[in-house]
Amino acid sequence: MVFFLINTPMKQKYVLLVFTILTLNSFSQTIGVLRNDAGSYNGYTLLAPLGSFETYLINNCGQVVHQWTSTFNPAASVYLLENGNLLRTGKIVNDDIQFGGVGGKIELFDWDNNLLWEYTYSTTEVSQHHDIYPLPNGNILMLAVTTMTQDEAIQAGRDPAQLEDGKLFNEQILELEPVGTDQANIVWEWNINDHLIQDFDNTKDNFGVVADNEQLLDINYLNSDKSPANWLHMNSIQYNTTLDQIVMSSRLLSEIYIIDHSTTTAEAALHTGGIYGKGGDFLYRWGNLEAYDHGDTNDRTLFGQHYPHWIADGLTDAGKIMIYNNGGDRVYSTIEIIDPPSSSPGNYTYNTNDGYLPVAAEWQYEDPDDPLNFFSAILSSGQRLPNGNTLICDGDSGYFFEIDSSGTIVWEYINPDSANGILTQGDVPSANLVFRALRFDETYAAFDGRDLTPGDPIEINFDISGCSLSVDEVDISNEFNLYPNPTTGIVQINTNLIIDFIEVYDVFGKLIKTEKNNQYIDIGELATGIYIAKIRSGNNFGVKKIIKK
């Protein structure tokens, strides 16, 4: 909001003109909210900067409405549960298992930042990494690696020449039932090393024809000339309650996979069983036909992707899968949506010649001016919002933006919390990586009965005077009076309304003082002059002029 005070000599008084500006581009912000246009979807965005102990919930003007603090950096993902609890990963040092996204710890905080439960899965042989997922029954899916020795990997059919680190990581998904404050029962388990194929050595396990076993993973397929222990680098697991299926993402193989969660642990190690009859084998895969001998590098559709997930019911394209396609050597990113063909819900069709379809995404966003302008080599996410917009997290630069259905950017934000500390407005952002950003509707169950009074933005020396939340607001200026006015200090607000906060701006529109949950504000320390008071009550606000004597 920008205010202009014009002195009109003929009447010898000030005339107050108030203009609402719905974009911040003209303010040349370097961090925090850069833009908040009328078409943006109003809600609360959850972010956990990778170099910070903090997890923030911010409104569309970048103001913090809630915050949690841990003693661990996030390994990657965090989740805000419907009961207001925060479920997060934690990064602990593991000298034996080292790659981006290694965590080893899960924490559960309540709304008031009390640690309710924690669980450590980190030894010389195993570690949680990247992602977790809260199930409807209160259990938690956890993505982890276990270590296969060189001998075990060779016996599984790995080419000995492709064991760069002398070991190989097996990816696994565990379902945890929390117990007490720091324990868990493992009630379900799936391991990729139960679902391998190889055509390298007929004297070893898993020998067969790769092209005829699309439901299995070729242990010798590498999507590069490197062969580290971390050859798959799974970076995401998401769950579909209706189908009882899990979708996961392998960044290094540029593929996504869907498996059946309805199996028992015993069936999950087999090739039969479960609702879909395939045990723990792949029900579907997409992104890289070369990985199962159905194409070559020219047929790749995914490039180091992150966060494949089913779009929730009630949203545009519900039931389809949205993917942040990072780009890899392509050096530009896209957001893509695919609709896997199926004969019935969860039973995906497979074409012997063409593999799993579709050939290409049915919807895609790329920078309309130049694809190279939009690129995050790692991290990142996309999220469909209730109004049809899409929230995008460009993770390696901590940059979030929201596009409408035509691809127009309507909201922009740059994370100010970096590994080097909180940035100051005007700083060039750096080391401010974010794994994923998610926006929640204001009616989300976690917010029932909670205090979401906006606080300050994260950044130092913030300036959000040009930001107006895009809500259906009513002007309540006629429902309150200020007194005394002129004043030498305290200004009272005379109204029957409940005041959420009072903001005081100078005549150039810069926010200089805020008071929360009070019927007064003290401006005694301010210089003599004219100021603007903005008073908010719920979603409504009013504006009055204050004269400081």
4-57: pLDDT as tens digits: 333 333 323 223 333 333 344 334 789 999 999 989 999 999 999 999 999 999
Mean per-residue pLDDT for 77-82? Answer: 98
Phi, psi for 40 (deg, rounded to 5): -75, 155
Q: Is 281 exposed, middle or buried (0-12, 13-18, 19+ CB in 10 A)?
A: buried
Place of tokens 């868990």: 184
How many residues are given for the chain? 549
Q: Is-contact 542 535, C-beta < 8 A?
A: yes
CA angle in degrees (0–180, nearest 5) for 140-128-250 = 95
- The confidence score (pLDDT) of residue 183 equals 98
Question: Using 50, 70 and 90 to split pLDDT, how confident is the model at 468?
Answer: confident
Per-residue confidence (pLDDT) for residue 215, from 0 to 100: 98
DSSP state of 102: B
The mean pLDDT of 326-344, rounded to a whole number, is: 96
pLDDT in tens, 392-440: 999 999 999 999 999 999 999 999 999 999 999 999 999 999 999 999 9
Distance, C-alpha 10 to centroid of its chain = 57
What digits encode the pLDDT tens for the residues 180-206?
999 999 999 999 999 999 999 999 999
Q: How far is CA 354 from CA 255, 286, 445, in A?
A: 16, 11, 44
Q: Tens digits of per-residue pLDDT, 101-160? A: 999 999 999 999 999 999 999 999 999 999 999 999 999 999 999 999 999 999 999 999
- Is the pLDDT at 291 greater than 90? The verdict is yes
**Where is 208: in which H helix or E strand?**
none
Residue 539, pLDDT score: 55
Q: Give the per-residue pLDDT at 16.
A: 35
Cα–Cα dist 434/443, whole Å? 25
Would you put residue 159 in left (φ > 0), alpha (ψ -120 to 50) or beta? beta
State pLDDT tens for residues 529-544: 998 888 878 657 788 8
Q: What integer pLDDT is reported at residue 286 of this predicted model?
A: 98
Q: What pLDDT was estimated at residue 27?
A: 47
> What local confidence, expressed as pLDDT, does residue 535 receive?
86
Its CATH architecture, for the domain 476-548, is: Sandwich (2.60)
Question: Is there a contact between 238 and 308 (Cβ–Cβ < 8 Å)?
Answer: yes
pLDDT at residue 83 greater than cutoff 70? yes
Residue 69 pLDDT > 90, yes or no?
A: yes
Report the chain's mean pLDDT, rounded to a whole number: 91
3-state secondary structure of 446: helix
* pLDDT at site 467: 87
Give residue 470's pLDDT.
57
**pLDDT computed for residue 502 by the predictor:** 87
Average pLDDT for 219-246:
96
Share of the chain above pLDDT 90, in %: 83
How confident is the model at residue 340, as a pLDDT? Answer: 98
Domain definitions of the chain by residue range: 476-548
End-to-end CA distance of the chain: 24
